[in-house]
A and B are shown apart, each in its own frame.
Chain A
C-alpha cells in the first residue's frame, strides 16, 4: 500500500513535471517563464484608451492652439501675442512630457522624440537657417535646430528679434507646424488601427506591446537621468557642469519638466487614467501578481516608492535646474541619486519578473 502510494504520487509528479518541461521547451521568449496569472489585455486597453491616446490628444490640442497663435504672430507681430505664446509654451512642453515615453509604433516610425526634443539646440544653426530660408527641417542635420528646444530659444531668447525679423517669425512658425504635423501623424495612426494592433499584441516577446512599453519606458527613464539632469550636472564630465544643456533652458522650465516626465512614467506604472485619479489595470498590478520581493518589501511597492522619492527630490530643487546646477547643491545630487536608484529596478528586476527582454541597446559592440 505504502509502495503504491509512493509510486502513484511519483507518477503524478512526473506528469506535472513533464507538462512543465514541455511548456519550458516551448518557451521561446528567452526570459524566464511567466507563471503569473494576469490578463494582459485589460491592461493594454487601459494604456491605449485611458492613458496614451488621451495624452496625445491633449498634447495635440495644446499644439493646435499654439499653432494658431504662431500663425497670428507671423501675420501681425505684437508683444501681446508673443507673451501669449510664451505663456502657452509651458503647457505645450508639459503635455509633451506625458507622451514622450511612448516611443514605439507610430512614434518610433518617424523618430518622433528626436524630431521634437533634441537639446541643447544649435542656436547658430537656427539663426543661419532662418536667414538662408532654403532649409529642410526634416533632415538629421537639422534635428538640433527644430522642435520644442528651437521654439524655446526663439520665444525666450530672441523675443525682440522675433518682433522685428520676419524670417525668424517664419522659422518659428515652420518649427511649430512641424511639431504639430508630426504629432497629428502619431495621433492619427493611434486612432486608425494602431490602438487595435497594440491591444491585441499580447505576450512577452519582442513584438509584444508589453515588450515595447517596457523598453520604451526604460529608454525614456534613462534619458531623464542622463540628458535632463546627469549631463548638465556634470555627472559624466568630472563635475564640469553644462547649465545650457538643460531642457527648456530659455523658458526656465527644466525642473518642472523633469518632475512631469517622471510623474507621467509613474502614472503609467500605476495605470492612472490620464489627468485623473482613477486607476485601471496596470504594470504595478501585473508585478504584484508575481509576488516577487525586493529586500524586505514587494518589488511592485519598491518601484512605486522609488518613483515617489525621485519626484519629491526633484520638487525639492524648486528653482530651474539651469539656474542652480552649477552650484553643486546637495539637492541636485540627491535628486540624481533618487532617479538613478530606480534604474536597476525598472531595467533589470521588472523585465525579468515579467519575462521581457530589454532589447534597445545595440549590444553588438562594434
Chain B
C-alpha cells in the first residue's frame, strides 16, 4: 500500500519536473507570487489612457470605410480637451495621451494624423501612386492607403502603443529617475512612490493581475484583449512570452516590496528583454503574413503597415539592439513603397529583426 502511494507520488514528481522548462528555481523565484495580486496597486491613469487610445484608434479606422477623419478632432482626443468621449467614464478624467508620447515620436505621430486627415477626404480607389481605398481580392476587407500603400490608421495604432505604452513602461517608469525614489512612505491606495511607479509600468502592459497564471484562461471577448496583452498572447504559443513578462513584473514588484533593489534591477532587465521580443516578434509575424498574402494589395499593405508600426516602435525600449537610426534605415531600405516591395525586401527586414532580437529559430513560426 505504501509502496503504491510512493509510486504515485514519484510519478507526479516526474511529470511535474518534466513540465518545468525554465529550470531556474532560484530562491526568489520559488517565493514569487503567481499573480500581480499586491496591496495598494493603482494604475487607473494608465487604464484611462488606454481606454482613450481604444476610442482614438476606432475613430482613425473609420477611414477604412471611407469616412473622413478630422486631424483637429484627433489632436483633441489625444490631448483630452474639447472632446466628449463615447466612453462617458472618461469625460471626468484629467489624463491625456499627447504629453506622454515620446518627444520625437510625438512629432511623427502628428504628421501621420494630418496625413490621415488629408487622404481620408473623399477617397477614391487607391493604387500604387494614388492614395485611396483598396479592397482585398475576396472583397471582404477594405483599407485606406496613402500613395505608398501605408495604412495610416495602423501606423497610428501600432505607433501609439509603442510611443506611449511601451515607451512609458520600459523607458520611463522603469528608468533610474522613476525607480530611485522613496520606498518607505506608503500612500494609502498607491503604495510607496517606487511601488506606484512600478505599478504604472504594469498598467501600460494592461494585463489582468492573474494573466498567464496556470488557472488563467485567455478569453478574447474580454476588455483586456487589446494592445500589448493581445499581441503577447498572439505569440505566446511560440515564445511563451505571457508568463515571462508577467514573471518579470511580479518579480520586480515583489523585490520592491522587500526593498531588494538588486533583484528589482534584474527584473527591469528581464522585462525589457522579454517585452521587446513581443514587439520584434509581431513585426516578423506581420511580415510573414504579408508574404503569405503577397499578391493581394489590401491584405499585404495592411499587414506591412502593422509590421512597420512595430518595427518603428522597437526604438522606445532602452535595451533595444536597433536604435531609431537603425530602425529608420530598415524602413527606408525595405518599405519605401509597399506596392513595389519584393519578397527579398521583406526577408531582409525579417532577418535583421530576427538576428538582433534573438528570434532566428522562431522567425518562420511567428
Contact = CB atoms under 8 A, between A and B. Distances in A.
Interface of A: 7-8, 11-12, 14-15, 18-19, 21-23, 25-26, 28, 30, 103, 105, 108-111, 114-115, 118, 136, 138-141, 143-144, 205-207, 226, 236-237, 357, 360, 362, 364, 366
Nearest to A24: B15
B266 interface: no
Interface stretch (B70-78, B189-197, B249-257, B288-296): B288-296
Contacts of B289: 362
B340 A139 contact: yes
B316 interface: no
B26 to A, nearest CB: 22
B108 interface: no
Contact of A207 (B7, B300, B364): B364
Which among B5, B237, B347 has the greatest number of chain A C-beta atoms within 10 A?
Answer: B237
Given A141-B128, A207-B238, A207-B365, A111 B15 contact: no
B167 interface: no
A206 B362 CA distance: 10
Interface in B326-366: 338-344, 347, 364-365
Contact of B4 (A11, A136, A138): A11
B103 interface: no
A111 B138 contact: no
B273 interface: no
Nearest to B286: A362
Q: Describe B's contact surface by its main secondary structure.
A: helix
A11 B9 CA distance: 11
Among A22, A140, A143, residue most surrounded by chain B Cβ atoms (within 10 Å)? A140
B238 A206 contact: yes
A105 B237 CA distance: 19
A28 B19 CA distance: 10
B17 to A, nearest CB: 10
Contacts of B8: 11, 14-15, 18
B237 A30 contact: yes
Interface in B271-295: 288-289, 291-295
Contacts of A108: 288, 291-292, 364
B11 interface: yes
A195 to B, nearest CB: 16
Contacts of A15: 4, 7-8, 11
A106 to B, nearest CB: 10
Contacts of B12: 18, 22
B237 A139 contact: no
Contacts of B1: 7-8, 11
A12 B11 CA distance: 12
Nearest to A118: B295
A141 B15 contact: no
A30 to B, nearest CB: 7
B16 interface: yes
A108 B343 CA distance: 10
Contact of B19 (A8, A26, A105, A366): A26
A115 B344 CA distance: 12
Given A111-B292, A237-B139, 6 more contacts: A7-B1, A18-B15, A26-B19, A138-B343, A140-B341, A360-B292
B295 A138 contact: no
Contact of A22 (B19, B288, B294, B295): B19
Contact of A140 (B4, B7, B237, B342): B342
A206 B237 contact: yes
A359 to B, nearest CB: 8
Contacts of A139: 339-342
Interface string B9-39: 0011011101100000000000000000000
B365 A366 contact: no
A51 B11 CA distance: 42
- B16, B139, B295 pick with most chain A CB within 10 angstroms: B295
Nearest to B306: A366
23 contacts: A7-B1, A11-B8, A15-B4, A15-B11, A18-B12, A22-B19, A25-B19, A108-B291, A108-B292, A109-B291, A111-B295, A115-B294, A118-B295, A136-B340, A138-B343, A140-B300, A143-B295, A144-B295, A226-B138, A236-B138, A364-B230, A366-B61, A366-B157
B297 interface: yes
Contacts of B11: 15, 18-19, 22
A138 B18 CA distance: 48
B147 interface: no
Contacts of A26: 15, 18-19
Nearest to A226: B138
B303 interface: yes
Contacts of A22: 11-12, 14-16, 18-19
Contacts of B213: none
A31 B139 CA distance: 31
A23 B8 CA distance: 14
A140 B291 CA distance: 10
A247 to B, nearest CB: 14
B60 to A, nearest CB: 11
Given A11-B5, A364-B234, A140 B15 contact: no
A136 B342 contact: yes
Contacts of B5: 11
Given A11-B5, A18-B8, A362-B303, A111 B343 contact: yes
Contacts of A141: 128, 339-340
B272 to A, nearest CB: 25
